[in-house]
Amino acid sequence: MAEPASGARVSPLAHLAERMRAAAVTGPRGVALSELPFLTMVDLRVDPAAEAAERVAKALGAPLPDHCGDTTASARHTLLWLGPDEWLVVSGADGAALTAGLRAALGPDPGSVVDVSAHRTTLELNGPSARLVLEKGCPLDLHPRAFGPGRAVATTVGPVAVLLWQTDDRPGYRLLARSSFAGHLARWLIDAMGEFRAPRVP
C-alpha cells in the first residue's frame, strides 16, 4: 500500500476500505458497508428554554430536537439529541466556520460549542439485510414499529459504543463510533455480513 503524502489527511478506516467493498452483498439479501470520513461534528450544549437556544436553532435552520432519539435537519445540518441540553450537529460544512457561527449565536449565555469531528468517524450500512446484520449485536429493538428513519440513539453494536442513526427505510444506518474503535467495529460488521453471501458452488 502506498504511503500517504506528507501532511495528507487519512481517515480512520482507509486501511479497511477494500475489505469493506469486498464484503458487499448484492441482490434481495444485499448489504453494503462504507466509511463516510471527515464529517463535521459539533457538540452543542445550551438550555433549551433560553433565548440562546432560539438563536442557535435559527443559525442552524432547524429546531433543536427535544426528545431522546429525535433528530431534526436543515439543508446542511442534522441535529441528534444527546441529552436534555446537549446535541450533536452533524454537517458537511466547514467545522471552524460552523463552530464560530454557533458560538456567536450562543453569545454570552451559558453553554458550549465544541468541534469534536476528530473524535468519531462514520460507518454507513445499508441494504435489505442491514437491520439483520445490526440485530446480531445490538440490544435495541430495530423493528420498524420501534425504530425508523430519523431516529438516533446511543447504544452498542458488538462490543463498540456507537451513536446509531437510521437515515432511510432501505434501510440505511449511520454508525458514529470513536475513531480508535472504528476498525474493530468495521471488522465486526464485515464478519456479520458474511452470512448473507451466497454459498460458493463447488
125 and 189, same domain (yes or no): yes
In a domain, 53, yes or no: yes
Name the domain count of the chain.
2
Residue ranges making up the domain that contains 160: 14-37+118-194
Q: What per-residue confidence (pLDDT) applies to 201?
A: 47
DSSP state of 70: -
Q: Does 123 share its domain with 180?
A: yes
Residue 8: which residues within 8 A CB-CB, separation 6 or more?
none
Q: How high does pLDDT run on average in the chain?
A: 94
In angstroms, the CA 188 to CA 173 distance is 16
Looking at 117, 142, 164, the residue that finishes a domain is 117
Q: What are residue 85's DSSP bridge partners?
A: none
pLDDT at 165 over 70: yes
Q: With a cut of 70, say whether residue 7 has pLDDT above it.
A: no
Q: Is the pTM of this model over 0.75?
A: yes
Residue 73 phi, psi dihedral angles, 5° rounding: -150, 150
Is the residue at 26 inside a domain? Answer: yes
Do β-strands 40-46 and 152-157 pair in parallel, antiparallel, or remain unpaired? unpaired
C-alpha 160/C-alpha 127 separation (Å) is 22
The reported pLDDT for the residue numbered 197 is 85
Neighbouring residues of 73: CB distance < 8 A, sequence distance ≥ 6: 62, 79
Radius of gyration of the chain (CA): 18
